[in-house]
Structure 1
Amino acid sequence: MDMKVFPVKHYIYSLTLIFIAYLSACTSLTGAKDSNNNDKFQVQLSEQEALAIGYKIWQNESGAKVEGLTVWNAGEEFASLGIGHFIWAPKGKKPVFTEGFPLLLQFMQTKKIAIPQWLANTPYCPWESRETFNKAINSKEMLALRSFLHETLSTQVEFMAYRVEQSLPTLLASLPHEAQREKVKQQFYRVAQSANGIYALIDYVNFKGEGTSTTERYQGQGWGLLQVLENMSGDTKQPTAEFATAAIKVLTQRVKNAPVERNEQRWLAGWTNRVNTYR
């Protein structure tokens, strides 16, 4: 296994740099159609902007803690990895939610990012349960995995931005009526072209998905980006505040629709705090 383990000082120093980038990041994050006026969204981020957004997402997911880069939450059947807590399931487990970690690794390969060989050759999460995962939390493999994820923060943001870029055509294709498509497209661009809008879109898609997967439904209702855009009022001069308000409405409905045994009410306050950072 070609693993590297980095000392704590390296983590603290890098975290300090990321925090500085977060404080000083530019706000020139824009989205626009392509040259043929197609509904293709493009995100252009500088390294500093990517680190700034990455820090905020990392803060949302795990308080920007290094140990939060590799977790397995209670009550879940999969590991959550990286700043975006990308899902990685063991063999034989198929999560209801989008399994993002294998997609992240594929994206890294297209970007010619050097992936540790042991990781590149492991198609499924090698830890079969939360118990075995937590027992291995300080193993060489786990330390190496955290080091790798810590070193590739900006690439993880690129991946999340790429997912947003791909989302608009998917959202529009899922809607049967032109009026629906026009509203969603209009709200998407309103958010994207406003201050904090790129962060809001990237974080929410990573956080709760595009909203087009039929498996991500409770009682027939979704909770992703599509549903949030559909619930925006569209009548204020603060698109990201509208987006946050609509997201809280959608997430509250999700909790009401969720199976009782999942007890999703326990997460609603944290979800609300998270989307309020979009305002």
Structure 2
Amino acid sequence: MILNRVVRLLAALSFLVLAACDSGPESRETEDIRLTLTPAQLHWVGAQIFRNECASRRECLVHWNEGEAFPSLGIGHFIWYPKGVDGKFVESFPPLIEFMEEHDAPIPEWLESLDPFDAPWPDRATFLQVDPGPRTEQLRDFLSQTRGLQAAFIFQRTRLALGRVLQAAPSSELPRLRKTLVELSATPGGAYALMDYVNFKGEGLAESERYHGEGWGLLQVLLEMRSMPDVTALDAFRQAAGRVLTRRAENAPRAIERERWLPGWLRRLETYREPPASGSS
């Protein structure tokens, strides 16, 4: 069974990623940060992200949001640009497929044969004309069967992002940011918040991801965090993310971000809490 194989591979991946001891500069930046999750906790985080992005609905695994120039795929709504679209946001679906290939996932033949690897629909109207169809349904089946691998990909992406974020941070802020990441990465709820936010709004390093010169990724949230008595790192992260995303919506050139997207973003942040005991075992 594909699902059973994915579960076994997920367990192996989570162990290997957690135990790995890399020698690059990113790992040196994060050598005192232990982003630790058991396979059960990683499954819980993946389910949370799937709920956030897709309301856990299979049909949403291949989707094209109104107002966007690209389709969103998988539990993390990974971005995939069509040919000729030079988007503002960091593309994440092609790296996911590379990760899948490295771990022998059963990628649909038509998907593997794309050259160049661009989304095969030029715009949302074209996508809606062919969906549902053989290709989109096959792609949904594939993405439904590999949800565990997608969670492992997000985990790996986040772990690498922590080093890049610390490298880009002002030197005067490094001790505070490193301490914050140590505290966040030590609990399932904090690890979930880091993973979801990196997947959701990125690292905050890309110059293209700015409005009026202000970013909205993980780096900006960490810099926005304020130390307050009796406030956990996770609570402070959630509050800071709310301020950063509100600022993004206020700076956005399109009203849709303020009027439609911001309320959903803020509701999403409310899930950044420690899981029930059953989800953290």
**Do they superpose with TM above 0.5?**
yes
Q: Does 1:94 align with 2:86?
A: yes
Partners of 1:32 and 1:110 in 2: CA distance: 19
CA 1:114/1:51 → structure 2, altered by over 3 Å: closer, same or farther? same
Partners of 2:112 and 2:20 in 1: CA distance: 35
**Residue in structure 2 matched with residue 38 of structure 1 by the alignment:** 28
Deviations 1:176-200 (A, max 9, x none): x422222222211111113411111
Bigger Cα displacement from structure 2, 214-223 vs 112-121:
112-121
Alpha-carbon distance, 1:42 to partner: 5.4
**Residue in structure 2 matched with residue 9 of structure 1 by the alignment:** none
Q: What TM-score results when the alignment is normalised by the length of structure 1?
A: 0.83
Q: Does 1:135 align with 2:166?
A: no
Partners of 2:22 and 2:87 in 1: CA distance: 38
CA contact (8 A) 1:72 1:78 kept: yes
Percent identical among aligned pairs is 38
Partners of 1:206 and 1:147 in 2: CA distance: 22
Matches within 5 A, 1:133-172: 133-172=127-166
**Residue in structure 1 matched with residue 185 of structure 2 by the alignment:** 192
**Residue in structure 2 matched with residue 211 of structure 1 by the alignment:** 204
CA 1:39/1:32 → structure 2, altered by over 3 Å: closer, same or farther? farther
CA 1:114/1:42 → structure 2, altered by over 3 Å: closer, same or farther? farther
Partners of 1:73 and 1:103 in 2: CA distance: 21
Deviations 1:119-151 (A, max 9, x none): 112201001111111122111101000000000
Partners of 2:128 and 2:81 in 1: CA distance: 15
Q: Letter of the aligned partner of 1:70 in structure 2?
A: V
CA 1:194/1:42 → structure 2, altered by over 3 Å: closer, same or farther? closer
Bigger Cα displacement from structure 2, 87-96 vs 47-56:
47-56
Question: What's the Cα RMSD here?
Answer: 2.4
Highest relative contact order (Cα 8 Å, sep 6+), 1 or 2? 2
- Structure 1 stretches of 5 or more lacking a match? 1-13, 19-29
Q: Letter of the aligned partner of 2:68 in structure 1?
A: E
Deviations 1:231-264 (A, max 9, x none): 1113344111111000000000001111145543
The match for 2:65 among 64, 73, 95 is: 73
- Structure 2 stretches of 5 or more lacking a match? 8-16, 274-281
Aligned residues: 252
Q: What TM-score results when the alignment is normalised by the length of structure 2?
A: 0.83
Deviations 1:26-45 (A, max 9, x none): xxxx9899598822355454
- Secondary structure of 2:270's partner? helix
Partners of 2:149 and 2:122 in 1: CA distance: 27
CA 1:259/1:32 → structure 2, altered by over 3 Å: closer, same or farther? farther
Partners of 1:33 and 1:187 in 2: CA distance: 22
